[in-house]
Structure 1
Amino acid sequence: MEDTASALSKLSRRNKRLESLLKKYKQTHHLQYALIQLSEQASTVPELTLLYPAIHHILEQYLPSRSFYVVLQNQFSQQLELSYFVDERDGISVPLNESHHFSEGVTGYVFRLGKTVYFTRDTMQAAITEGRFRALGSPAEYWVGVPVYRDKTIIGVMVSQSYNAEQSYSEQQIELLEVMSLYLATAIERVKKRELLESEVKIRTRALMQSNEALNKEIEQRKKALERQQILFKISELATCNSQIDEIYQQVHQIIRSITFADNLYIALYDKESGWLNFPYCVDSVSPSSQPRKFAKGYSELVISTERSQLIDGHRANLLIENGIVERPANFDPKWAATSWLGAPLKTAQGVIGLIACQAYNHSYEFDHDDMELISFVSNQIATVLQTHLANQALKASYQELEIRVLEKTKELRQTNLHLQMQIEERKKIEQQLYHDAHHDPLTGLPNRSLFLTQLEKTLQIYQRHPEHHFAVLFIDLDKFKDINDQLGHQAGDQFLINVSEAFSECIREHDLLARLAGDEFVILLNHLSDKNQAEDVAKRIIRVMQKPFCMKGICVQSGASIGITYSNKRYGDIDEIIRDADAAMYYAKNAGRGRFEFYHPLLTAGKHLPKAVECHHLCDLPSHFRSTEVVDYSASATKLIQTVPAVRMLEAFGEHPVLGSTSFDILKKFAAERDEQLELELKLLREAQVATPQFAGHTLLACSTLLLEEQAFGLLQKQLQNQSKGLCLLFNEHDIRFASSRQLDNLKQLALTGIPIGLNDFAKDRCDLTLLSQIDFTYVLLSSTFSKRVLQQSSFEVQLKGILAVTECKNIQVIAKGPAILNFQTLLEKHGLKRFFGKQLNLATLAETQASSELLAE
């Protein structure tokens, strides 16, 4: 029962939400449909006496308006006069001819006030008692008066009243009245012009009957009037058509072409706030396109500033230039000047929004005053059409789509009201679709920035409550995406983004989140991580995917991906810091050569917050020290594990950085400003390690970079190693050796031939390449901790370990496993044939030190 009640309650809340949404869409539909009907009536009714009943009929569909009248101000007597009156109670018994009748009543009050007034019977009586106006006619239960404006001048009042106490006016109905009043003045003007036009046609027709000569002349003028009327009809149709704005411009061009010479025509729009002229449409035989420009002193600016049509021939053009009214650009060529130019302002209720202009070259046509009259005649109507489409083009498509969807969902809801469960499921689908549309990228279908940031915020909150739930953010920027757009086109670029999003989705787990931020930027949120290697694996898969060329239309373009990674850290207080750090790491990866990934490190952003002297600190000047970790050798033959005397140790160099404190030089070397600085640091650390080596009986492992193996640096290395003891072993990273040049590999082999111990660090982290072990005489091989873990988790890696042990035994190479100093972990590896382990013992002193170092590096 409780579940049923909960479901009913949830359904009730969703019903209210859908009803509110439906009510909003219905109101939008009513407003739009009522305005369309008003525009159609204004275009079709032959006289004003038929316009007002048509408006009354439109309003009756949406609100109680059986009592409705319109009062307009006489432009000559300045008195309020009744234009239309229908009242279900008073009829025409009200003394309408009484002098100042409407000025003294509530209608005159609205006219003086200049804004919408809504009265109930009680509030109207209170206003009458206060002396605001006189009581005229039968008192209504509800009374609404809306002022009618032409431009910014009030010209009358539109009134609707209800004598039924149960039929009041809602805010939506009052809003509908206000919207109708905004367009009423325009409709009245259009009908008046049409009445005037029809009256003129009739008068001229009668005059034509008096003489044959006058008859021909009047017939011609009537034809022109009819043509103008047809032009107005065509323009009015444009106001209600569903075409795109570019098609509207083309249709306007065709209309102008039908009334005058318009082979060369452009439409300019003026933005008062920015002071720029834009040319959204231009057809010209001399200048096919016009670029936006600042408001200056040209023909177009003359039309806009004077708000009048301008007819300019060669003579007038010279006068305008001589008087400084018009100025030519410095690079203007007079031979391309128009010999005849005609422009008309596009006027709306808000002022001039631009102009429409025609021009002729080489005296191919000479515009006259008839042409100027015609283009002026249609320019105001064109302005209204363009303003309507410019204002609604972004909303129109969504309104239509929403209207269709609301109608469809309403029909489905009526059919499913008999089945409660079906109704619940259908509404769930609607909510999911709306949520999906609002939170997903329309091109790729991936989550957008809003959804990603919301999910990242939740993940950060979970991590702050449960620090063991680690996460990582991968910020991905596609390399050479601009080349794809330039060479193959934006359609190919869109298809490339779709292909990339599908490929990226296959590189992550189901519960991970892939989102598109903008353009060619993607971001991935990885949850439930145990270490950084998992984020690194995802980055490597993405880089491998992006190494494949993208081909379309027979052209192939090589792209790539630069990836910045930031790992969860307890210092993160908000998601902006996470996005900032991932973005900084991505830019470092891009600047470092692209097609790679980098983890965020505080040095990437430290320079932004430090004084210049600290930011440019030379690494060799940092105070340094070594931290030694011994390699442990366990014997499996004893009854218990006994640690023997250590014969191998690992030296790790630390520097006292002004920002990070005691930090590994392996980290600091990565951010060295110059290669010379890094080489100098390498040799310095080597000298210090040589001093410490004789004090230790066994081998000392020191991590070095392949920079020492380059041609110029190798001579310095050999000179420095001439007199050292054989106890120092140079340890090189397996990843660097794999991508080393042939010269660097030869130098490495030369070190082994001269008796210098060398080792391979982090072996089999990404791949198990046994050729390195067979081709180079290494003394030590350190297996990566990642490989050690995988040996215990997957049987396929046991086979690889057997191959490594077989090759190293033949080559007399010592194998050391890296991993946590946990006895159970080492005991399991020992069963696979590994005897030596590198890892810090978990006593209290080293545990605190390890934890502090881990937190510092993670930051």
Structure 2
Amino acid sequence: MLLKGEERVLERLSEVAGELALSAEPSAAEAAMEALARREGCVVVTNLDGQAGGAWRWLEQARRCGFEIPLICVKGPTTDRCPEDEATLVTNQARPLPSIYYDPLTGLPNRALFTEWLARAIERSQQQAGYRFAVLLLDLDRFKIVNDSLGHETGDRLLIRVARRLLAHLRFSDAVARISGDEFTILLDDVEDASDAVRIAERVHAALKDPFLVSGQEIFPTVSIGIALSVTGYQRPEEMLQDAETAMYRAKNTEAGYEIFDPEMRRKARDVLRLESDLRGAMERREFELYYQPILSMPESKVLGFEALLRWNHPERGFVSPGDFIPVAEETGLIVPIGDWVLEEACTQLSRWQDELPHARQLTMNVNLSRKQLCDGELVPRVEQILRQTRIEPDRLKLEITESMVMEREQAAIEVLARLRSLGVFLCVDDFGTGYSSLSCLHRLPIQTIKIDRSFVSRMGIDMESSEIVRTIVALARNLNKKVVAEGVETLDQLSRLEALGCDQAQGFLFSKPVNAREAEELIERAYLLTPATP
């Protein structure tokens, strides 16, 4: 829809008038053209045929998008695309269509009108062989951060600018709507195959590549796009929108930023819903369990502490991979109560070991924090309460965060970390090297330990780049007076290389896989010494 100003609109309306006049009385066509010249007119077209079906939609949308333009009243046979009761609205003055059909912020059609258009497109595809269309559902990535950091007024202005840019870069026949806070939809008419929809998705990404200057701030929005194709055989608009949304969420994990729906996604989405339902009752049913992986000093191989790792023992599915249920917990917000349980259970276990096992008082416990926990205003008092009730020394607890968690809301995260550090808790940056860290920020974080991601450790001795990254991180930690832990150590060769670099601590299957509390006690009772496993 190339709405690049009123002149282009008037030019296109002239074309539409000519098209529609083919089956209208000559006097009606002349009247329409005169209305265009005088910039006057009304808003009803009553003789649309199948080929001109997109014109009515375009005329409706153009007016809803804030263009004060003269629209054409062409007399002709009424069709089901423009019923008689709409034609009777024609008067000598332009009359706005009901406000319930458009979004008051952007001026775009809303979900109600888009759903009507989609229903008509589905009906047409059922009646007209060979007619295909597609729906694109767009979600502005990290829009909440814009609202939280720059304010809702700036967020609203960004939505308006995005809407305008979408309209300026889409085809004449495409229809755009805003269906929720930061979600837009596009109805693509007459597509030949999936490649047409992909081209539009790529065009949208290109259109939004340039920054928006909003309230004096440059904003670089990105979008995730889900694509649903009519060839799937939809019966209801809601089904198509739901599938486009499913594809959109999958697109968030792709480099391209868009994804085409396939029926397998629907099955996986249902599995996720079942998983979410089961997850909500897992704590009450005591299905969660903590496993512990030892962290050792180098080169002595002495157990210094453990990292607590969550496991879910599902009554029907057995052990569910954290990679399957942690993202669901994050998305639903369940990660906050689950994370609180992990924190309390890990500290309780450490307190029990310190009370019952000789020499256990020097052990530390590492617990991972989630992004939502870090943003939760109750995190610091919750940690303080758990330390008090479990009676462990604050410096025995080490909380792990990732780079990306900090960089998304840098200043707020630094403030929370500073409050945690003031309690005496130690802080670690986990998976270091995989995020988008800023060295200028890193030295300001109140952290004591850097953990090297296993992806780099695993390729030491295989490619020079990974070995050099590990060497650089160890040197960086030493220069910043931080401890450094290598994760995922699995071979003697890796261990030897890490020792040569001066790495402080190690963790990995070479020493021990994650074990339950009873097996961890056995490791502690062996006077903390672990011998690296040999092939």
- TM-score scaled by structure 2? 0.50
Q: 2:305 — aligned with what?
A: 648
Q: Is the 8 A contact 1:780 1:813 kept in 2?
A: yes
Deviation string 1:445-479 (CA, Å, 9 cap, x unpaired) is: xxxx9xxxxxxxxxxxxxxxxxxxxxxxxx99685
Q: What is the CA–CA distance in structure 2 between the aligned matches of 1:831 and 1:601, rounded to whole Å? A: 51
Q: What is the CA–CA distance in structure 1 between the aligned matches of 2:72 and 2:258, rounded to whole Å? A: 51
Q: What is the CA–CA distance in structure 2 between the aligned matches of 1:753 and 1:691, rounded to whole Å? A: 21
Q: What is the CA–CA distance in structure 1 between the aligned matches of 2:83 and 2:436, rounded to whole Å? A: 71
1:661 is aligned to 2:318: yes
Q: 1:678 — aligned with what?
A: 335
Q: Give the secondary-structure state (helix, strand or coil) at the position aligned to 1:762.
A: strand
Spell out the pairing of 1:327-342 with structure 2 (5 A cutoff). 331=88
1:689 is aligned to 2:361: no
Q: What is the CA–CA distance in structure 2 between the aligned matches of 1:692 and 1:716, rounded to whole Å? A: 17
Q: What is the CA–CA distance in structure 1 between the aligned matches of 2:266 and 2:91, rounded to whole Å? A: 63
Q: Aligned pair in 2 of structure 1 residues 825, 602: CA closer, same or farther (>3 Å)?
A: farther
Q: What is the CA–CA distance in structure 2 between the aligned matches of 1:245 and 1:550, rounded to whole Å? A: 33
Q: 1:814 — aligned with what?
A: 483
Q: Is the 8 A contact 1:816 1:835 kept in 2?
A: yes
Q: Aligned pair in 2 of structure 1 residues 543, 331: CA closer, same or farther (>3 Å)?
A: closer
For residue 294 of structure 2, the aligned residue among 612, 618, 630 is 630
Q: What is the CA–CA distance in structure 2 between the aligned matches of 1:799 and 1:822, rounded to whole Å? A: 18
Q: Give the secondary-structure state (helix, strand or coil) at the position aligned to 2:378.
A: helix
1:586 is aligned to 2:257: no
1:293 is aligned to 2:79: yes
Q: What is the CA–CA distance in structure 2 between the aligned matches of 1:285 and 1:664, rounded to whole Å? A: 59
1:561 is aligned to 2:223: yes
1:701 is aligned to 2:370: no
Q: Give the secondary-structure state (helix, strand or coil) at the position aligned to 1:293.
A: coil
For residue 713 of structure 1, the aligned residue among 376, 379, 385 is 379
Q: Is the 8 A contact 1:628 1:651 kept in 2?
A: yes
The higher radius of gyration belongs to 1
Q: 2:450 — aligned with what?
A: 781
Q: Aligned pair in 2 of structure 1 residues 839, 268: CA closer, same or farther (>3 Å)?
A: same
> Letter of the aligned partner of 1:724 in structure 2?
I
For residue 486 of structure 1, the aligned residue among 167, 172, 175 is 167
Q: What is the CA–CA distance in structure 2 between the aligned matches of 1:840 and 1:279, rounded to whole Å? A: 65
Alpha-carbon shift at residue 776 of structure 1 (Å): 3.2
Q: Aligned pair in 2 of structure 1 residues 560, 620: CA closer, same or farther (>3 Å)?
A: farther
Q: 2:397 — aligned with what?
A: 728
Spell out the pairing of 1:359-398 with structure 2 (5 A cutoff). none
Q: Is the 8 A contact 1:478 1:521 kept in 2?
A: no
Deviation string 1:129-185 (CA, Å, 9 cap, x unpaired) is: xxxxxxxxxxxxxxxxxxxxxxxxxxxxxxxxxxxxxxxxxxxxxxxxxxxxxxxxx
Q: What is the CA–CA distance in structure 1 between the aligned matches of 2:350 and 2:80, rounded to whole Å? A: 75
Q: What is the CA–CA distance in structure 2 between the aligned matches of 1:596 and 1:296, rounded to whole Å? A: 35
Q: 1:804 — aligned with what?
A: 473
Q: What is the CA–CA distance in structure 2 between the aligned matches of 1:731 and 1:521, rounded to whole Å? A: 38
Q: Aligned pair in 2 of structure 1 residues 815, 247: CA closer, same or farther (>3 Å)?
A: same
1:833 is aligned to 2:502: yes
Q: 1:617 — aligned with what?
A: 281
Q: Is the 8 A contact 1:708 1:717 kept in 2?
A: no
Q: What is the CA–CA distance in structure 2 between the aligned matches of 1:824 and 1:776, rounded to whole Å? A: 33
Query: Structure 2: 5+ residue runs without aligned partners?
Result: 1-14, 33-44, 58-69, 94-128, 141-158, 176-193, 227-241, 260-264, 354-359, 516-535
Q: Aligned pair in 2 of structure 1 residues 557, 785: CA closer, same or farther (>3 Å)?
A: closer
Q: Is the 8 A contact 1:478 1:520 kept in 2?
A: no
Q: What is the CA–CA distance in structure 2 between the aligned matches of 1:543 and 1:620, rounded to whole Å? A: 44
Q: Aligned pair in 2 of structure 1 residues 331, 780: CA closer, same or farther (>3 Å)?
A: same
Alpha-carbon shift at residue 285 of structure 1 (Å): 11
Q: Give the secondary-structure state (helix, strand or coil) at the position aligned to 2:312.
A: strand
Alpha-carbon shift at residue 689 of structure 1 (Å): 0.5
Q: What is the CA–CA distance in structure 1 between the aligned matches of 2:28 and 2:479, rounded to whole Å? A: 95
Q: What is the CA–CA distance in structure 2 between the aligned matches of 1:262 and 1:689, rounded to whole Å? A: 79
Q: Is the 8 A contact 1:704 1:730 kept in 2?
A: yes
> Letter of the aligned partner of 2:270 in structure 1?
T
Q: What is the CA–CA distance in structure 1 between the aligned matches of 2:377 and 2:163, rounded to whole Å? A: 37
Q: Give the secondary-structure state (helix, strand or coil) at the position aligned to 1:766.
A: coil
1:742 is aligned to 2:423: no
Alpha-carbon shift at residue 824 of structure 1 (Å): 2.6
RMSD of the alignment, in Å?
5.8
Q: 2:143 — aligned with what?
A: none
Q: Is the 8 A contact 2:297 2:303 kept in 1?
A: yes
Q: Is the 8 A contact 1:476 1:521 kept in 2?
A: no
Q: Is the 8 A contact 1:477 1:520 kept in 2?
A: no
Q: Is the 8 A contact 2:311 2:320 kept in 1?
A: yes
Q: What is the CA–CA distance in structure 2 between the aligned matches of 1:585 and 1:296, rounded to whole Å? A: 33
Spell out the pairing of 1:77-476 with structure 2 (5 A cutoff). 287-288=73-74, 293-294=79-80, 331=88
Q: Aligned pair in 2 of structure 1 residues 806, 674: CA closer, same or farther (>3 Å)?
A: closer
Q: What is the CA–CA distance in structure 1 between the aligned matches of 2:174 and 2:459, rounded to whole Å? A: 40
Q: What is the CA–CA distance in structure 1 between the aligned matches of 2:347 and 2:274, rounded to whole Å? A: 37
Deviation string 1:246-294 (CA, Å, 9 cap, x unpaired) is: 98986888xx86xx998579995889xxxx9x999xxx99824769534
Q: What is the CA–CA distance in structure 2 between the aligned matches of 1:834 and 1:520, rounded to whole Å? A: 50
Q: Give the secondary-structure state (helix, strand or coil) at the position aligned to 2:281.
A: coil
Q: Is the 8 A contact 1:603 1:671 kept in 2?
A: no
Q: 1:461 — aligned with what?
A: none
Q: Give the secondary-structure state (helix, strand or coil) at the position aligned to 2:292.
A: strand
| Percent of pairs with identical residues | 15
Q: What is the CA–CA distance in structure 2 between the aligned matches of 1:686 and 1:845, rounded to whole Å? A: 17
Alpha-carbon shift at residue 563 of structure 1 (Å): 6.9
Q: Give the secondary-structure state (helix, strand or coil) at the position aligned to 1:617.
A: helix
Q: What is the CA–CA distance in structure 2 between the aligned matches of 1:279 and 1:516, rounded to whole Å? A: 22
1:764 is aligned to 2:433: yes
Q: Give the secondary-structure state (helix, strand or coil) at the position aligned to 1:486.
A: helix
Query: Structure 1: 5+ residue runs without aligned partners?
Result: 1-243, 299-327, 337-393, 396-448, 450-474, 495-513, 523-541, 565-579, 636-642, 847-859
> Letter of the aligned partner of 1:702 in structure 2?
V
- TM-score scaled by structure 1? 0.33
Q: Is the 8 A contact 1:701 1:731 kept in 2?
A: yes
Q: Give the secondary-structure state (helix, strand or coil) at the position aligned to 2:307.
A: strand
Q: What is the CA–CA distance in structure 1 between the aligned matches of 2:291 and 2:481, rounded to whole Å? A: 28
Q: Is the 8 A contact 2:347 2:386 kept in 1?
A: no
Q: What is the CA–CA distance in structure 1 between the aligned matches of 2:420 and 2:505, rounded to whole Å? A: 25
Q: What is the CA–CA distance in structure 2 between the aligned matches of 1:727 and 1:250, rounded to whole Å? A: 82
Q: What is the CA–CA distance in structure 2 between the aligned matches of 1:290 and 1:558, rounded to whole Å? A: 48
Spell out the pairing of 1:4-15 with structure 2 (5 A cutoff). none
> Letter of the aligned partner of 1:586 in structure 2?
M
Q: Give the secondary-structure state (helix, strand or coil) at the position aligned to 2:329.
A: coil
Q: Is the 8 A contact 1:631 1:838 kept in 2?
A: yes
Q: What is the CA–CA distance in structure 2 between the aligned matches of 1:712 and 1:789, rounded to whole Å? A: 37
Alpha-carbon shift at residue 787 of structure 1 (Å): 3.5
Q: What is the CA–CA distance in structure 2 between the aligned matches of 1:543 and 1:279, rounded to whole Å? A: 28
Spell out the pairing of 1:67-82 with structure 2 (5 A cutoff). none
Q: Is the 8 A contact 2:366 2:399 kept in 1?
A: yes
Q: Give the secondary-structure state (helix, strand or coil) at the position aligned to 2:494.
A: helix
